[in-house]
Amino acid sequence: MVDKALTQKIIDRLAASKSPALLAHIRPDGDAFGSLLALGHALRDRGQRPSLFVEGGMIPMYQFLPGSELVLDLPAQLPPETDCLVALDTSTRDRLGQNTHSWPQPIDIVIDHHISNPAYGKLNLIVSEIPSTTGVLFELFQQASWKVSAANATCLYTGLTTDTGSFRYRGTNAHTLHAAAQLVELGADPAEIAKQCYLSITHERFALRKMVSNTISIKDNKKSAFLTILPDFYAKTGAKSEDTEGIIEEVASIQGVEVGSLFEFMPDGGLRVSLRSKGKVDVNSIASSFGGGGHKAAAGIRFAKDAEKNRDLVLAAISQSVVAL
Ligand code: 5GP
Ligand code: MN
């Protein structure tokens, strides 16, 4: 599953770096923060001095992660002492964030689990059979015989539980659950992490969810359904853009609905699309045909303009994909 020789090259490259910079994707989720902090802990525990960056910095929901204060907003330029640039959980170079687009440094190492990742680093460890980037990192730490502290185990487990929808999605297998069990032995607390990730949503996030749920439209003989977010939903509820994480799972939870989608109309005229499948439809291939990507069961697209027209095109592609089911 994991290429040992390639992993060893990455371990050696990481071990040789004094001041690596670690990056994760825009609109970061549990796996983005989890993998950023997990690799951060592993390197710090070895006496290295990693910098941890993500667009917008830490968000309140993941502040419970040990070391969360280490995560900083993307700087205009990389710290000059940076000697290794690592991209985590980020399916395309673009998704590292606006500031990084003008950085001259190449990406030295990509560690990811997105099947659509084009391998934009010098060394690329992309393992799509593992359902979270923290799961890929755990394999790397084990091969390297690097100590995994309880703090690190908490970060690794958080990425694993959030990216598998609490171990519910199809990518979850015996290997995943075995890794989760090892992380619990190392100090991750499943009930506490579940409380922080799933039982602590803010009133603003709850209000946004209610408003978005009300937009549901069921189509294609009840085999698909979609939700809509309009720009003024945020002002009306007090929620922030990060509060959309997880809303789409609700559509896909309806019996018989094979594809769920969510269309967020942006104030700048753009459109953000999230797609989810229960397994029969490959939504990565739908997303890829519009320039997006992700996984078979969860993918996304971003359009810069023509929001309504593009929404209709994506809905037509979804109809096509479920018509024969
Ligand atoms: P979400 O719907 O949770 O934002 O994203 C689902 C999956 O699709 C994630 O794994 C994410 O990395 C990927 N994804 C979301 N939006 C895009 C996009 O615009 N481009 C690409 N390549 N992948 C995306
Ligand atoms: Mn991930």
pLDDT tens digits for range 233-269: 999 999 999 999 989 988 988 999 999 999 999 999 9
Task: Tell the CATH superfamily of the 4-198 domain.
Answer: inorganic pyrophosphatase (n-terminal core) (3.90.1640.10)
Q: Are 269 and 307 in contact (CB under 8 A)?
A: yes
CATH code for residues 203-322: 3.10.310.30
Residue 131 beta carbon below 6 angstroms from any ligand 1 atom: no
84-129 pLDDT, tens digit per residue, is 999 999 999 999 999 999 999 999 999 999 999 999 999 999 999 9
Q: Closest ligand 1 atom, CA of 262?
A: 2
Whose CA is closest to atom 14 on ligand 1?
A: 300
183-206 pLDDT, tens digit per residue, is 999 999 999 999 999 999 999 999
What are the two backbone dihedrals, phi and then psi, of residue 50, each rounded to the nearest 5 degrees? -75, 150
* pLDDT attached to residue 16: 97
Reduced to 3 states (helix: H, G, I; strand: E, B; else coil), residue 232 is helix
Please give the C-alpha separations between residue 241 and each of 1, 206, 230, 248, in angstroms, as whole numbers. Answer: 35, 13, 11, 14
Residue 300 beta carbon below 6 angstroms from any ligand 1 atom: yes
- Does residue 31 carry a pLDDT above 90? yes
What does the domain layout of the chain look like in residue ranges?
A: 4-198, 203-322
Residue 293 beta carbon below 6 angstroms from any ligand 1 atom: yes
How far is Cα 287 from Cα 281, in angstroms, rounded to an integer? 12
* pLDDT attached to residue 250: 87
132-160 pLDDT, tens digit per residue, is 999 999 999 999 999 999 999 999 999 99
Indicate which ligand has the atom closest to the C-alpha of 163: 2
pTM as predicted: 0.94
* pLDDT attached to residue 170: 83
Q: How confident is the model at residue 178 (pLDDT cuts 50, 70, 90)?
A: very high
Amino acid in position 20: P
* pLDDT attached to residue 95: 97
* pLDDT attached to residue 1: 86
Residue 116 beta carbon below 6 angstroms from any ligand 1 atom: yes
275-301 pLDDT, tens digit per residue, is 999 999 999 999 999 999 999 999 999
Q: How many DSSP H helices and E strands does the chain contain? A: 11, 12
Whose CA is closest to atom 16 on ligand 1?
A: 300
61-94 pLDDT, tens digit per residue, is 999 999 999 999 999 999 999 999 999 999 999 9
